[in-house]
Amino acid sequence: MKKLDEQAAVFAPQYADQASKLKEAGVKFLQSHMVDTNGALRSKLSPVKFSAGGEALNAILYCVSYGDGEPIGDTAFPSPLASDENGYPNICALPDPATIRRHGWRGDMASVISSGYLLDGTPCALDPRHILSAAEARLSRQGLQASVALEFEFGIFTADHDMMREGQFSALRPWGGTLTNYDLVRSGDYQDLVCEFMRRMDALGIGVASFVTEYGYGMYEFALTPKPALEAADDAVRAKLHLRELCAERGLVATFMTRFQPPGKHSACGAHHHVSLWRDDEPVLAAGVNGLSGQGRQFLAGMLAHLPETHVFFRPNINSYRRFDRGAWSPEDVSWGYENRMAAIRAITTPGPTACRFEHRVAGADVNPYLTTAAILHAGAAGLEAGMEPPAPCPGDPQACGDVVALPRDLAGSLALFEASQFCRESFGEAFHDHYASSRRNEIAAFETWQAQRITEFEWQRYFGC
């Protein structure tokens, strides 16, 4: 991976060319995005400008808590990169010219996504885009490229900012009057919002394969078209940001938290990852209906073998584990099957070789797609390198298929496997491994602190009459 000065020298001519084209087109403002550890875009607005030396940015960006620390005030977690001990230094954010996009729905606006570098010029080991690029490079050494498509389930509610400020999120009114799947008339302005979302995504070069109502009040889903892995992750975070933006314009609010309905009631929010492998523009996974090539089997075996220790990426926070529900097609164990939506990995082999892919079904909508995609590629590449073989496929409920390995049912259990994993240390690097473990310990500590400060409804109802 190039150092800052080397990469900047490559990008500099593109910066000048892009800035000139944008200004000629009437673009005056630029949204500059960076991806944080949790997978959110952290952004600033400026006049259109690109600096070959990058932009200074506080390194605490990689250490911020979900929701900026609500409800207990833990705005950031300590890290060797940014802490009281080192005074919270800057890093350098270098814009990637391949990500520059004009916003077709607002002619004076464009955006770009940057990657992080330390002040000594080395790529920041904590930057999610660098993490995913390294995973792509590992697969490339096998002569292979991954094509990735993500689909997100999410909720939309009528915005009431007073209620949200008071923390009354569960009392918000779901957008739309039914809980029916694939319903075009859930609300009168549903089709208008969907078409506008697709128009905006098209302006950014992001393909939307579909947008549907999901089972549950306020539940929806969009699916993106396949791209190379890094571009697919860039598309995913942009799509989430601009859906939130569009909803806000219309007095609505969107959420990608994994479960906002009580467990056992309606659907929870998944983020299925569709992954195919290619060599010189030819698909390599296919071997007929309900069949996989040798490399396809090895890649699958690696994904399965390393799923428990990478599980923390797919279910990264406290709320993630409320989605566990095999009956609702949210996997609970290390399993796979052809066209099996109850398994962790669904192998799709029809209608032909170019459509052959794996659907990784474990992730919730709350994930960082750079990290989940990197985990899939690293694990699959490890399977290829070791020539692994997968277990027999499960035709239905994995629990009826014999001795399957259960996935951890809480964040602490997933974190323990991740921390003990030599595979994760080697694949993601020591610095990122330790940093990410700290971020998850912070989530656990925040929840435990909040719990300790409250008497639950269970306690009131069960013990008040004692």
Q: Six-digit token pair at 33? A: 């995005």
In angstroms, the CA 286 to CA 289 distance is 8
Query: What backbone torsions phi and psi does residue 16 show, to the nearest 5 degrees?
Result: -65, -45
In angstroms, the CA 64 to CA 37 distance is 8
270 — pLDDT class (breaks 50, 70, 90): very high
Q: Six-digit token pair at 126? A: 């904590």
What is the pLDDT, as a whole number, of residue 186?
A: 85
Helices (H) and strands (E) in the chain, counts: 12, 18
Domain ranges within the chain, ordered by starting residue = 4-124, 137-452
| CATH fold for the domain made of 4-124 | Ubiquitin-like (UB roll) (3.10.20)
Environment class of 251 (CB within 10 Å of its CB; exposed 0-12, middle 13-18, buried 19+):
exposed
Give me the torsion for CA of 143, 146, 147, 152, rounded to 10°: 180
- In angstroms, the first-to-last Cα distance of the chain is 65
The predicted-structure confidence for 309-366, as pLDDT tens digits, reads as follows: 999 999 999 999 999 887 778 899 999 999 999 999 999 999 999 999 999 999 999 9
What is the pLDDT, as a whole number, of residue 241?
A: 98
**Residues 6 or more apart in contact with residue 56 via CB below 8 angstroms:** 90, 91, 92, 93
137-452 CATH pick, 3.30.590.10, 3.10.450.40, 3.40.50.720, 3.30.1330.90: 3.30.590.10
What is the pLDDT, as a whole number, of residue 187?
A: 84
Query: Is pLDDT at 179 greater than 90 in this prediction?
Result: no
The predicted-structure confidence for 394-436, as pLDDT tens digits, reads as follows: 998 888 887 899 999 999 999 999 999 999 999 999 999 999 9
Half-sphere exposure at residue 396, Cβ-oriented, CA atoms within 13 angstroms: 1
What is the pLDDT, as a whole number, of residue 177?
A: 83
138 — pLDDT class (breaks 50, 70, 90): very high
What pTM was computed for the model?
0.96
Length of the chain: 466
